[in-house]
Structure 1
Amino acid sequence: MVIVLKKDISNGQKENLTAFLHSHDFKLNEVKGEEETVIAAVGRVKLDVSEVELIPGVQRVIPISRPYKMASREFKKENTVVEIKNSKGQIIRIGGNRIVAAAGPCTVESREQIMRVAASVAESGAVLLRSAAFRPQSSPYTFEGLGEEGLKYLKEAGEKYGLPVVTEIGSENLIPMMQDYGVDVYQIGAGNMQNFDLLKKVGSLGKPVILKRSYTATLEELLMSAEYLLSAGTENVILCERGIRTFEHSTRNTLDLSAVQVLRSLTHLPVIVDPSHAVGIREKIPAMALAAVASGADGVVVDVHPNPEKALSGAILSIVPEQFDKMMHDIEALAPVMGKSVYHIFSGECAKSERKSDSKKLLVAYSGKKGAYAEQAIGRYFDASEAEAVALDSFSDVFQSVADGSCDYGMIPIENSLNGSVYQNYDNFSRFEDVEIAGSVTLNIRHSLLGLKSASLSDIKTVYSHPQGFGQSKKYLDQHKDWALVDSVSTSTAAEFVASHASKSNAAIGSIVNAEIYGLKILAEDIEDDPGNFTRFVVIASRDRINKSENKPLFNIKPNMASFIFTTKNESGALYNTLGIFEKRRLNLTRLESRPIKGQLWKSWFYADVEINKEDGDVYAQCASIYEELKDKTEEVRLLGVYADGR
């Protein structure tokens, strides 16, 4: 049933209502809309609608009309997004505005085979590794997989390349083994779609499940099977269209792409498509994968084998890695037309989630070498007794180390008073979706020109620094137009380079701290354009860490700032209406930036920093309320953090 609440319902009345429903073992989902708030309730016990309507605070009750309840769009209006964490700390999300690809061989045949395929599909853009270790076959004389050995190889390959693994389960007896090996996503094959005992057992695990449509099933039967999974405990069900049996024999099955849009109207669950098992003709699979994306699917599942002619199973269903690579490039080009982008895993060979130090202190990552301004910001924000600075090669590495847990926090520059925003880090926030802001600190930046002890200004021909260092010292550099300027990862990296290469013609722009650390001479001091040169740094942390501990106040300043990232709807006045949410609360918007969205032409992320009025009550409650309003006005929104800002 759908319970519409009165607009003036009190907190006490709502608590009494939910307590009543929970006492009858109902599962609840509250949905706040612009006009009304409703509670969707599903349970095994039948309640008289009139009995619920008499409860104080209830305006009316609408029965859910579908035989499937929790899977119904009536139960949950917004789309479900299934989250799957990979070995790099990234959370893969299926549903929403991203397209995902799951790929791999039909069956694990050897360690060498699965490692080779995993490396290939990861490089091409897959975010999930799919393959069978136990393969139910229509004939007892065909290859049924390596069993536990195959499961071991599959998980090893997934861990190495940051790909969560998807594998089919055909018997509840396999559950303990698959749990031991850490299977990320369980697949219910078409042959088991109506194996209700298996559905209940797998659903009770609470893990993500891909449910494939049987080739004889109606969409209602598919959704009733999903209902078994949902009612057993899991909230993460992904529906998969893989073709149905018709009178046509030109292809293996008939791929019913109309099912994608029909399911969109019937259910909130994500929908993916398996063109390999549907078509069964190698050269036609990529085209049907593109058609699936064009139909609105949230992703595709594709069989990939390095040598299909020698495959022990699924030979006719498999494309070669080169075909998969081209297919992913084509999907990248098509995605913007659908208003979507393709999901990617973090770059890098493999996950390195070990802590970067044995120290018991908090590990705080920064980009550059010892003496970087970011390291000085770490010293200002954290007590020396509680934190250890960890130097990394790039801003992306700082985000990665925080995401995968090898460091506790990161310190990154976000804006400078003279040279503006550090756009690379705004882009990193859109890439690393599970990294948030935990704090902020502002540092006065004073630049010096540093050279070898034996050097003088007349010797200098090449100057190294971070682009921000050059931008903040433009007036000084304009006096020396004959100098070549070379970008470095950080000002401290530039100083280390000058010291290690020992050439009198080289100099670096950086802090006087760098001169002390690297044994350099200060050739010119305070060369920044303006003494009011300040850089604002933010402390970043994984969402898990922030959720486990309240953000540290800065110099006794309690949280007073919130940062949001959002995309607007494609309609007139969308940005104006979104910003109106802040204006009506009389909140000061201290920063608004826009950045292009990769893969979506002429669309942008907007980043907003907002001062929160502490006098208006609980800061976190205010931000939660703002977030809910933004969800209604935007296509996508994230609360990047609620934190103390001492600017």
Structure 2
Amino acid sequence: MDILSVENWDLGLEMPLYIAGPCSVETPGQLDQTVAALVNEGVKVIRGGVWKPRTRPNSFEGVGSKALPWIKEVKDKYKVKFAIEVASPIHVEEALKFGIDIFWIGARSTVNPFTVQEIANSLKGIDIPVLIKNPVNADLALWIGALERFHHAGIKKLGAIHRGFSNFNDKTYRNSPMWQIPLGLKTYFPEIPLLNDPSHICGRRDLIPQIAQTALDLNFDGLMIESHIDPDNAWSDAAQQLIPLDLGQLLRTLKTRKVDVDNPLLQSQLDLIREQIDDVDRELLEILSRRMSLVEKAGEYKKLNNVAVFQMERWKKVFETRPEWAEALRLNPDFARDLFQLIHTESIKKQTEVQERNEQPKIR
């Protein structure tokens, strides 16, 4: 993809790119006070929800188009850039009238290719940055597809926002980070600016610093963080918004990492460690190969004795013991659980293939 870097968006932006502001634009006073406080903390790009897609009806869905003149007023007053979510061509048309600088496509829109295409078509010939949030569910293909649709529409100022993924098993985060997915996106399209949205991942303001720093450690290009002048009384997502003072303190304490190593001695040590990692990875694959050979033997035995491939007691034992073993080895038990979920799924597949071998009816 021929994508322009953030520095070439003609908005005077710096890296890393920090975007902050309230979940929702509520009143002229709330917006003005929040923006004034954020500018005082050095924020140059403000975010604010105008139209809010909600899961259930009768929830607060944003104040709508009447917020756009308020945004134009604070843009002129404080000399800031402004980003909002758009979910339809009508939103695009209304927002452009008031000089909105950056659009983002929300997670609920990204899941629908028809919606994405309609918005992309409405932006043909318009030179404006568009940021695409990942879909609610962990589907990299949908995310890539949305980016491609906007790129095909001629958008070169294109970026992605990682806001986490729905996961009912996650008891810590509102949306699980699942870092491997945004890193997968970056592998496919290294030129696309990638921001992290710790507010929607965490759902709680006390967790935001850790996720924000992790994103920068993983070489993300910036952050989008929700900030409100009075978050406890916010009309939406109160628990995940920071006061501007706390946001400023967070941004000042975050550390950015160098991508390249310019010290020859350090590079030599890093290369040595990586060689050792490669050796261990080969050993891991050899062990997995041996395990799958044993799995096939078990499958043959079950076939000879007319035993079902899937056995619940064995399944339960694997998922009870492996996290315990991992914890004893000072490994993350959740990582072990996820790993053996994959291994067990592949094992079932192998044994099913054994059961089906030479048992397909011959068709004359």
The match for 2:188 among 252, 266, 269 is 266
Alignment partners' CA distance in 2, 1:101 and 1:142? 29
The one-letter amino acid paired with 2:52 is R
| 2:262 counterpart residue number | 570
Q: TM (normalized to structure 1)? A: 0.38
1:196 aligns with 2:116: yes
The match for 2:209 among 275, 279, 286 is 286
Contact map agreement 1:132 1:145 (CA 8 A) in 2: yes
The one-letter amino acid paired with 1:198 is E
| 2:25 counterpart residue number | 108
Alpha-carbon displacement from aligned partner over 1:303-338 (angstroms, at most 9, x marks no partner) = 10121121111212211222201111112xx12x33
Give secondary structure in 2 for the equivalent of 1:254.
coil
Alpha-carbon displacement from aligned partner over 1:508-563 (angstroms, at most 9, x marks no partner) = xxxxxxxxxxxxxxxxxxxxxxxxxxxxxxxxxxxxxxxxxxxxxxxxxxxxxxxx
Alignment partners' CA distance in 2, 1:215 and 1:339? 30
The one-letter amino acid paired with 1:162 is K
Contact map agreement 1:171 1:198 (CA 8 A) in 2: yes
| 2:245 counterpart residue number | 322
| 2:139 counterpart residue number | 218
Contact map agreement 1:290 1:330 (CA 8 A) in 2: no
Structure whose residues are more often strand by fraction: 1
1:102 CA drift (Å):
0.3
Alignment partners' CA distance in 1, 2:122 and 2:212? 28
Contact map agreement 1:184 1:208 (CA 8 A) in 2: yes
| 1:120 counterpart residue number | 37
The one-letter amino acid paired with 2:224 is V
Query: Whose radius of gyration is greater, 1 or 2?
Result: 1
| 2:128 counterpart residue number | 207
The match for 2:83 among 160, 166, 181 is 166
Alignment partners' CA distance in 1, 2:199 and 2:122? 25
Alpha-carbon displacement from aligned partner over 1:377-403 (angstroms, at most 9, x marks no partner) = xxxxxxxxxxxxxxxxxxxxxxxxxxx
1:311 aligns with 2:234: yes
Alignment partners' CA distance in 1, 2:166 and 2:152? 29
Query: For residues 52-451 of structure 1, what are the structure 2 equivalents within 5 Å?
Result: 70=1, 80-81=5-6, 83-86=8-11, 91-93=12-14, 98-193=15-110, 194=112, 195-204=115-124, 205-246=126-167, 247-267=169-189, 268-331=191-254, 334-335=255-256, 337-338=257-258
Give secondary structure in 1 for the equivalent of 2:156.
coil
The one-letter amino acid paired with 2:121 is K
Structure 2 unaligned blocks of 5 or more: 265-364
Give secondary structure in 2 for the equivalent of 1:224.
helix
Alignment partners' CA distance in 1, 2:200 and 2:150? 23
1:219 CA drift (Å):
2.1
Alpha-carbon displacement from aligned partner over 1:361-419 (angstroms, at most 9, x marks no partner) = xxxxxxxxxxxxxxxxxxxxxxxxxxxxxxxxxxxxxxxxxxxxxxxxxxxxxxxxxxx
Alpha-carbon displacement from aligned partner over 1:333-354 (angstroms, at most 9, x marks no partner) = x12x3359xxxxxxxxxxxxxx
The one-letter amino acid paired with 1:218 is D
Structure 1 unaligned blocks of 5 or more: 1-69, 71-75, 341-568, 573-647
Contact map agreement 1:260 1:295 (CA 8 A) in 2: no
Contact map agreement 2:219 2:259 (CA 8 A) in 1: no
How has the CA–CA distance of structure 1 residues 188 and 202 changed in structure 2, closer, same or farther, with 3 Å as cutoff?
Answer: farther
Give secondary structure in 1 for the equivalent of 2:61.
coil
Q: TM (normalized to structure 2)? A: 0.66
Alpha-carbon displacement from aligned partner over 1:147-188 (angstroms, at most 9, x marks no partner) = 222111123212322221100111212222111101111110
Alignment partners' CA distance in 2, 1:325 and 1:171? 33
Give secondary structure in 1 for the equivalent of 2:91.
helix
Contact map agreement 1:134 1:169 (CA 8 A) in 2: yes
Contact map agreement 1:280 1:316 (CA 8 A) in 2: yes
Give secondary structure in 1 for the equivalent of 2:30.
helix
Alpha-carbon displacement from aligned partner over 1:571-593 (angstroms, at most 9, x marks no partner) = 67xxxxxxxxxxxxxxxxxxxxx
Give secondary structure in 1 for the equivalent of 2:55.
coil
Give secondary structure in 1 for the equivalent of 2:76.
helix
Identity rate, percent: 24
